Amino acid sequence: MAFSLLIVFLFGYAAITMEHRLKMDKLVPALLMMVLSWAIIYIGLPHIALWLDPVIGLLHDPKCGQVHIPELTGTISQKRALIDGSLLHHFGKTCEILIFLIGAMTVVEIIDHFDGFQVVKKGITATNKRNLLWIICLIAFFLSALIDNLTTTIVLISILRKIVSDAELRKWYTGFIIIAANAGGAWSPIGDVTTTMLWMNNKVHAGSLVAHLFLPASISLIIPLLLASFMSVFKGDIVPSEAKDSSHKQGIIILLTGLGCIVFVPILKMTTHLPPYMGMMLAVGIVAILAELISNRQFSMTELIEHESHGSPTIKALTKIEFSSILFFLGILMTIAAMESMGMIFAFGQQVSESMSTSLFVILLGISSAIIDNVPLVAASMGMFQFTPNHEIWHLIAYAAGTGGSMLIIGSAAGVVAMGMEKISFFWYLKNIALLALIGYFAGIGVFFLQMM
């Protein structure tokens, strides 16, 4: 049965990696392998000997000091009831993450509806290429910690098009935006899907994550920027674009309110112990109320009749959310949950611990995240290791998975969207940006271990 689950996962993941060649959205194989994985478990229920129930957890053997997976005993009805409970638990924990992401996406889309991010563009006045590189990347670094690396990349490329008219030069800036956005998302509990997963599963705490990863993540960006400062492509001044601004007079209000509410989410969790998704729903509610009030003031009754297309900014924001990504995460996380429940992830973790150091494995995991999506990698790692909350390994996983994807343009959501927006080829990025990202990745790891000494 474990072999069948592994085959389903491998074929499903192969289809995900080849989505462009197959011309099929990656959510399709993700959802199929989720259903097939749990169907195999339910069909093969009489033959399941071990089951890692999320409530019972691993059993500790006092004689040998080792932990092991509990046996699945009882009648078929009792076994099915236990598996039903496990499925519902994993589905609930997964939905907590997905609802959190939907809330964050909604807030960002409402900000964008009022052209709030154009306020950032107005603050960029540099014309020197090198100075502009540093300014854009620092904005990406901190902005991605507040929203997420994917949205940050989209926002900054859109702004960059209004500043830099040379398409070839924009490719260089975009390559560094990818590095900056991924680095910024790594040190924040709300900056990347993987850090959000670790935070919401109580592997890391918000304050501890920031304290341990801010400096390594910063170094992973600063080193490539220092090297780029000596490159000829960033010497001289830019020829500004003639594109006109389309800023909204209430944009600054919505921007500050939206970002402030998102930042407040970890604070609310620490003070009230409410789950993070509840705090994000509060953020959506506050920003939506403000957006509706602004929209109602903007239009008189006559204007409303003339503008029949005008509608609620909240509803418009919800229609722009990438629900295909949400369903993809659902499929991936629930498939990993099936393999984890069967004890496959834990068994693999034990083999890794016997063959190499955990730190080395995590470093390799970060490198592999340049090829393999980091969401399943982090989901699997949470089932492999049984470290206490805020253990250094969890922080290293967050750093490695977050920044490792910058080594290839297909290694992160930020890279993939930039690839499409600026028509950057895989080999152009490999030739010009990959080595700088690799140097930054290992520089950050070096700083991380220096902090641990």
Higher pLDDT among residues 453 and 248, named by residue:
453
Element (H, E) at 60: strand 59-60
Tokens describing residue 439:
């140097």
Angle at 240 between CA 234 and CA 241, to 5 degrees: 125
Which three-class secondary structure state does DSSP give residue 134? helix
Q: How confident is the model at residue 248 (pLDDT cuts 50, 70, 90)?
A: low
Q: What is the per-residue burial (b if ≥16 Cβ within 10 Å, else e) of 287-313?
A: bbebbeebbeeeeeeeeeeeeeeeeeb
> What number is the average pLDDT over the span 350-354?
77
Q: How confident is the model at residue 307 (pLDDT cuts 50, 70, 90)?
A: very low
Per-residue pLDDT of 126-160, as tens digits, reads 788 899 999 999 999 998 988 878 778 888 887 88
- Nearest-angstrom CA–CA distance, 39 and 75: 19
Per-residue pLDDT of 152-184, as tens digits, reads 888 888 788 878 888 888 899 999 999 999 999
438 pLDDT more than 50: yes
Residue 433's identity, in one-letter code, is I
H helices within 187-240, ranges in order? 193-200, 206-228
pTM: 0.77
Which residues, listed in sequence order, are joined to residue 67 by a DSSP beta bridge?
A: 60
Residue 122 vs residues 119, 174, 227, 271, 416: alpha-carbon distances, Å: 5, 19, 28, 36, 27
Tokens describing residue 274:
């409410």
Give every CB contact of residue 148 below 8 A, 6+ residues apart in sequence. 104, 108, 185, 190, 191, 192, 193
- The widest CA-to-CA distance across the chain, in whole angstroms, is 81
Q: Residue 385 — φ and ψ, nearest 5°?
A: -110, 150
Which of 314, 145, 315 shows the shortest CA–CA distance to 214?
145
Residue 389 vs residues 63, 268, 438: alpha-carbon distances, Å: 26, 19, 28
- Nearest-angstrom CA–CA distance, 274 and 386: 24
Residue 207's identity, in one-letter code, is G
Tokens describing residue 406:
């910058």
Angle at 215 between CA 213 and CA 217, to 5 degrees: 65
Mean of pLDDT over the chain: 85
- Nearest-angstrom CA–CA distance, 406 and 192: 13
DSSP-derived secondary structure letter, 67: E
| Cβ contact 386:58 at 8 Å | yes
Q: How would you classify the pairing of strands 67-68 and 59-60?
A: antiparallel
Give every CB contact of residue 14 below 8 A, 6+ residues apart in sequence. none
Q: Among 44-48, 99-103, 275-279, 417-421, where is mean pLDDT lowest?
A: 417-421
Per-residue pLDDT of 378-421, as tens digits, reads 888 887 887 899 999 999 999 999 999 899 887 787 887 787 77
Per-residue pLDDT of 11-51, as tens digits, reads 988 887 777 778 888 889 989 999 999 999 999 998 888 88
Which of 382, 143, 114 shows the shortest CA–CA distance to 248?
114
Tokens describing residue 105:
């996406």
- Nearest-angstrom CA–CA distance, 81 and 73: 12
H helices within 18-115, ranges in order? 19-22, 27-43, 76-113
User: What pLDDT does 23 receive?
Assistant: 80
Per-residue pLDDT of 376-390, as tens digits, reads 788 888 878 878 999
State the angle between helix axes of 129-146 and 251-272 in degrees (0 to 180), rounded to the nearest 10: 50
Q: How confident is the model at residue 247 (pLDDT cuts 50, 70, 90)?
A: low
- Nearest-angstrom CA–CA distance, 237 and 232: 12
Give every CB contact of residue 183 below 8 A, 6+ residues apart in sequence. 141, 144, 217, 218, 220, 221, 402, 403, 406, 440, 444
- Nearest-angstrom CA–CA distance, 341 and 336: 9
Higher pLDDT among residues 364 and 19, named by residue:
364
| Cβ contact 398:182 at 8 Å | no
DSSP-derived secondary structure letter, 48: -
> What number is the average pLDDT over the span 218-222?
96
User: What pLDDT does 244 receive?
Assistant: 55
